[in-house]
Structure 1
Amino acid sequence: MQHHPRFLPTPGSWPIERIEARIIDIPTVRPHKLAFGAISRQSPVIVQLWLADGACGFGEAATIGGPSWNEESPESILHAIQNHLAPALLGQPGGHFGAALARMDLACRGNAFAKSAVEMALIDAVARTLGLPAWQLLGGRRHNSLPLAWTLASGDAARDIEEAQLRLQQRRHRIFKLKIGARAPAQDVAHVAQIARALDGQATLTVDVNQAWDGATARRWLPPLIAAGVTLIEQPVAKWNVEALAMLTATLGDRAAFMADETVCTPQDAMRLARAQAAQVFSLKVAKHGGLLRTLQVAAVAEAADIGWYGGTMLETSIGSAAAAHVFSTLGPQHHGCELFGPQLLVDDVVGARMEIRDFELQLPDGPGYGVEADIAQLTRFDRARAGLNATHVDLGRRAAMA
């Protein structure tokens, strides 16, 4: 694109010229068991977005278990991007993030994960054009690092204990989350208690029930979990059951903190929970909120309501994990760490170098954009379309040009 020198656009106004999206399939190092099933492969959608000045940004949307976790799947995310979101943004000014979100909302209702991946790539591209780390575009960094949790989800207590002890020795993690809800409550409590005894005095324990229990079951079985040493309890009841969550918080919240995850997606959800005093912590996940900017909106409600935050994960590669780290780094001090361990759970990654973990904390990557460099060869290696599976790798800019 040619520009007369007197009318050269400012970096933030460079138009969006091209968008590509692809599904990649990466095996996990071990099965990751949750209340609703187990995964042995992650299939995130990776977005590349080019501005007219040639700057390229990357975004990612990953789901845990695809549509078994929420309404979006890798295939639906890709479809929304290629058929609705990208066409709505081509030719638009890159630096107008709010306007870009509004255009995506007009083009496609819902689809928070898909919008998140596109917005993530856009912010990365603009930050790279400006030569700035993304946190400078998101309000400014308040944390250089965050305590990093690890999820013990093999389903086998002995293996989980061995895994936790190794992570402690490596000085990588001393916050451990246990995924429960797939077995009978008594079995889950026994499983957690066994691990708690082995790690007593060495680590902090969280349990994630992933909505598996009803209110009565939660009232019966959460007290023994708390007695075993659990200090943070994530989404014990269904996402719609705000009343039960509020009751649990009111009756047990002085012994352990209650964290909302699936219940809090939008700023409006956050307001409802705050009014009901139904949670003491919000699990923030960039994809479920619909992007980095909307994550900031949910976090603002939490801060105003004196609710803590926790940096959640959808088991992203280092692309999505680094983007989340940048937005989490701008938030206030009332936090419970983060769990951006997704890259460690994958057999390989799609960046040249992962974020550093040192002294139990994830170090915020610096440098332009999200501070990690995508490895195109690795993206190609794991590209589902190149593996001959059911997907497409689309170049929407070229497709639009040929139309």
Structure 2
Amino acid sequence: MIRSIDTLLVPIPTIREHKLACTVMREQVLVLVHIQTEDGFAGWGEATTIGGLSYAEESPHSIKTNIDTYFTPLLLKEQPSSTAKAMQLLSLHITGNRFAKCAIETALLDIEGQRLGIPVSELLGGRVRDAIEVAWTLASGDTATDIAEAKEMVAQKRHRIFKLKIGSNPILDDVAHVLAIKKAVPECRISVDVNQAWTELEAMQGISLLEAGGVDLIEQPISMRNRAGLKRLKDRFDVAIMADEIVQDPQNAFHLASEHCADVFAVKINQAGGLKAACLIGQMAHLAGIELYGGTMLEGPIGTAASVHVFATYPSLNFDTEMFGPLLLTEDILVRPLDYNNFGLTVPTGAGLGIEVDTDKVYYYAKRSNITLPTMSQPNAKSGKFATES
């Protein structure tokens, strides 16, 4: 039985400004869910989004409010006997709230994996890869800074795939910025993320120039509402066109796949509504002949670990991932950081998510966010993590 569910807002500064077409980030507010059971297990989930309400319809504060007000009372009252029944219960009574549902499902799967002694990836069908390659986003906004950063990443064997955030400047300025970086690191794969900033006509101009300059991937160049336009761009250009914001829950992804609106799907566990939903989207894309890319909402290490458990199960992942969120933060909330090495990230092998959260640090940062929290009590006997008064 579920003993308690705590939802924590944990703000952590970023190592530098992270500029997108829709916002500029200087800190990331992690939304963490901590579920404890009567038999002594503790699971963690994450529902992090980008830039408050500038990117998605759920914000850190709305996620916490909805989980505390609607999700928690329902789960504590009904006490579903499995993760699947819990998610069915939430779907029956709560509309939308994909990010919040993802966090709850992640924490429950973490507990389920711990109880069975197996990694979450095995609960999702089984991993076919033990490590994933990770792209790095160059988002300082300055060409010389981005080139220096890219070269340093390659030299350190941290990243050799780079994504550039564009769309907030005139098209020719953005293209010049991207192509200068491509020229400086010609051996590296370069993609751009427009974050829906262009009109369809602007996209035709921008993509034509980027394709001629050797850019490898164009992510969500136009509005997510213009599905037909995205397909027209995919059919017009040889460079791969990737759908991102437009890829949401499995039903939405099914229509995109059936109409083959993009060459590549960026799959994000929060945007999909959970780990199992993200697996389903990956399966549909694979069956439709659409390539896959492991996307991020710039989650911290909990959401990142959950994501790589999903991506490790994909039959193909030819466009790799961008699971660099923890590397963008100035603080780590795990006892042992995730294992980034040789241009990639090792998929955790321990039971559940395979990570150990530094509970003291999480609650310390959460208290600094001025959110009222439960009172801390003694460490849980089985998990070694702190329990809370419910």
SS at match of 1:268: helix
1:115-264 equivalences under 5 Å are 115-200=101-186, 202-252=187-237, 255-264=238-247
Provide the alpha-carbon RMSD of the alignment: 1.6
SS at match of 2:191: strand
Aligned residue identity for 1:192: V
1:300 and 1:352 map into 2 onto residues whose CA distance is 34
Over 3 Å counting, the alpha-carbon distance change for 1:94 and 1:371 in structure 2 is: farther
SS at match of 1:193: helix
Asked whether 1:336 is paired with 2:319, we answer yes
Correspondence for 1:72: 58
SS at match of 2:319: strand
8 Å CA contact 1:55, 1:126 repeated in 2? no
Asked whether 1:111 is paired with 2:97, we answer yes
1:208 and 1:387 map into 2 onto residues whose CA distance is 33
Q: Unpaired runs of 5+ in structure 2?
A: 376-386
How far did 1:86 drift? Answer: 1.5
Among 356, 365, 369, the residue aligned to 1:373 = 356
Asked whether 1:279 is paired with 2:252, we answer no
Correspondence for 2:328: 345
Asked whether 1:297 is paired with 2:255, we answer no
8 Å CA contact 2:138, 2:164 repeated in 1? yes
Among 60, 73, 90, the residue aligned to 2:46 = 60
Deviating beyond 4 angstroms after TM superposition, the runs of 4 or more aligned structure 1 residues are: 91-95
How far did 1:358 drift? Answer: 2.0
1:50 and 1:286 map into 2 onto residues whose CA distance is 22
8 Å CA contact 2:11, 2:365 repeated in 1? yes
SS at match of 1:19: strand
Over 3 Å counting, the alpha-carbon distance change for 1:394 and 1:75 in structure 2 is: farther
1:52 and 1:302 map into 2 onto residues whose CA distance is 39
Moved more, 161-170 or 125-134: 125-134
Correspondence for 1:9: none
Correspondence for 1:357: 340
8 Å CA contact 2:118, 2:352 repeated in 1? yes
Asked whether 1:17 is paired with 2:35, we answer no
Correspondence for 1:307: 290
SS at match of 1:24: strand
Q: Unpaired runs of 5+ in structure 1?
A: 1-14
Aligned residue identity for 1:225: L
8 Å CA contact 1:80, 1:108 repeated in 2? no
Give the count of matched residue pairs.
Answer: 379
SS at match of 1:105: helix
8 Å CA contact 1:47, 1:118 repeated in 2? yes
Deviations 1:188-236 (A, max 9, x none): 0011011111011x21001000000010100111111111121111100
How far did 1:268 drift? Answer: 1.7
How far did 1:52 drift? Answer: 2.0
Among all aligned residue pairs of Structure 1 and Structure 2, give the percentage whose two residues are the same amino acid: 41
Among 340, 363, 372, the residue aligned to 1:392 = 372
How far did 1:314 drift? Answer: 0.9
How far did 1:91 drift? Answer: 5.6
Aligned residue identity for 2:325: G
Moved more, 160-169 or 92-101: 92-101
1:370 and 1:282 map into 2 onto residues whose CA distance is 24
Deviations 1:303-341 (A, max 9, x none): 111111111111111111001111110111243111110
Moved more, 329-338 or 165-174: 329-338
Query: TM-score, normalising length from structure 1?
Result: 0.91
8 Å CA contact 2:285, 2:291 repeated in 1? yes
Deviations 1:371-398 (A, max 9, x none): 1110012102311xx2263x33358x98
Aligned residue identity for 1:234: E
Among 280, 304, 308, the residue aligned to 1:325 = 308
Correspondence for 1:101: 87
1:245 and 1:94 map into 2 onto residues whose CA distance is 41
8 Å CA contact 2:31, 2:48 repeated in 1? yes
